[in-house]
Structure 1
Amino acid sequence: MKKPLAGLLALAATALALAGCGGDDAGDDGKIGGAITVLTQRTDIVNTVFQDYKKKFEAKYPGTTVKFEAITDYEGEVRVRMNTEDYGDVLLIPNSVNADQLPAFFEPLGTVDEMQGKYRFVRTEQTFGGKVYGLAITGNAQGYVFNKKIWTQAGVTEPPKTPQEFLDALKAIKEKTGATPLYTNYKDGWPLGQWEGARGSVSGDPDAAIKLAKDDSPWAPGKEHFIIDSLLYDAVQAGYTEADPTTTNWEQSKGLLGTGKIATMMLGSWSVVQMQQAAPSADDIGYWPFPNQAGGKFHTVVGGDYKNAINIHSKNKATARAWIDWFTDESNYATDQGGVSPVKSAGMPKTLAGLTAAQTEFIELNPAPKGEEGLAEKIGNAAEIALYDGKYRQGIVDAARGAKNQSKDEIFTNLNKKWSNTRTNLK
């Protein structure tokens, strides 16, 4: 992946020089009509739910045609395609795109000031220079999805308050049930990136991302990344995860958790509905906060999922924008998928009842100071510790299961060194 990402960075610099602030030229006649291509990661519902969206949108805007491209390895494939101009009309902004690259690839949708009254997640996510470049398809709380039957069978009916209590619960599950206590979904990679969602939830600090970008040793004892990645390492080392992580299967894992063969997965709350659909009863699936308390209470960061955006090279930006507005305001995708709607006037979903019952405090991360937007992700990408893509956590799993000769201390020391060196070079 190094070569395409390097190309992406180079292209961003070139496009920024050519495109300025993101292109005021609409590239079409400004009228809603004609065909658009929409890229999506939802391979599971592109031929069902999304076809209903297509019918409703085309009925509202006669003369339009929506074509979907569903991509399994969304991050990897789209990142490569963005070295060309051919990456759809509407797409989900890949996590590997740094904030300062947004104007090179995407059309601005409006300013933060204009949009923050109506929409969640626009103050801090996929914004740059006071402009918004994407609207969330849904919002997520952070924690883990679990099979209530299995946890109850193991004697655990309240959410663990510490990492050690969580490990004790996994041990009880292993000893008292036939289920795999915790499933990493190692092979697909991206599910391990979901552990990054605990950033801010561990500390209960809305400035967590800002502080991370200024920290030379995020993996030092007591800090968020030490706590998050220690829990992963310790769970794997203790044998509480799948026997052979190289053979995991994301689509299959949903059915395994739904039917109780897997007990737990560390995923955003978007996962709850998918697990419920794979379970005999939706009531079998629960969602709890990350096992750590700050100030005597659980916290969860509520943030946006992938953001719909307009390809700056699109020849039909008016229809692309109409699709994004319709999808956000009218499709009901977020609520139907058990997520937090990006529309502020919408209520919280029932899928988050477990967080509410645990008296979890919901927080949104604060926007970074001007000039520091997306800085933590930029440091991570440059250091080859991309925080959300799961690759470096695959290394943690490999070491913990004995496939790589590295202790936890050695891993964290190396991560701190790479992070610190990169921070210094980026200053």
Structure 2
Amino acid sequence: MTHASTVDGIVVALVVGVRLVVPLFIGRFPLPAILASLVVDGLDKSILQAFTGLDLTNYQSYDKALDIYYLSITYLAVLRNWRDRYAVNVVAALWYYRLVGVLLFELTGLRWLLLVFPNTFEYVVIALEVVRTRWDQRRLSHRAVLGLTAFVWIVIKLPQEWWIHVAQLDFTDEFLTRVLGVDPDEGWAAGFANRPWVLAALVGLVVALALGLRWLWPRLPAADWAFTLDADEVARRSGAPVRPAGVRAAVTRWAVVEKVVLVGLVTTILVLSYPRIDARWWAAWVVVAGVVLVHAAVQVWRVRTSRTGPTSLPGLVALNTAISLVAMSVLAALVADGRTGDVALVDALLMAFVVGLMTALYDRWAPESWTARRGEPAPLTAGADSSR
């Protein structure tokens, strides 16, 4: 192995590792972890271009998979932390609307679908998490939540989705070429040296924003608590019950159905976008649905028999991944059509890990009314939470 390939491998491992690990903090520290994931998502390709000699032709497929990964964790964190059921319902609708749009895009290749199904979910969650740092989110009226959603959808996301997915323009390249007047390969230093007034204007904009925030700050409503980024601290200060320790199982009918839909959509999108897997989309969904039902059956058995098992999240994810891998192998053999028999072990492990992680997080973070704890009756036939 050459020195260049070793360096390339280290850089890729660091970039992908950061993109996999940072989202795991979204449950406890949602706002900083989401923003960090967003920043890394925006910089990762530039870092790989600058520090490796790799061919990044297919990187968009991997990037999309990592985006779905961290956004899925963001949705599960909303279930974990938010107590305003109306706001949960709104962002859940936005999340599933986007997933359906991405699935349709993967099936048809029509880029305008991403404009029709924009990723409004992410920015609405960020905005409401900003509110939760100092105020009780439940103070927001239904009209305010819908107004915020409409603003993000129309003013922010539609132009952004058009720029990225329809016009297919790169912000960095366009800014360097059109604003700074240099070739993108020359870099930022050369660009600001060519047009230093742009740097001065950007500094002035930052100063103006800072002065605007300073003017606005004392005019905001009185805070409900001191600034915090800890979701558990928000729960304590708002008087909401803090989640009890221990392993829980989301096994109500609603929970099982949502896990099938959620994990099925996410995994099917990954299968369709992943360049090394060739499978029928409906077969992938059938396999994943079967795997989720296997997980639910195992959870019901554990709860009813008070069986012990992993209590740490890494242990639970590892066990769920192993169960997923076995179940996927069996179910895939039943629906294979000759195109699914050559899936590499590392790719099968990746898909099994996604299913294992999402089922583990859902079981831990779903609302209490959807779950049972060991030693309690497993409400597999119980109805869904009426507030959802």
TM-score band by shorter chain is under 0.3
What's the TM-score once normalised by structure 1's chain length?
Answer: 0.24
Compare CA radii of gyration and give the structure with the larger one: 2
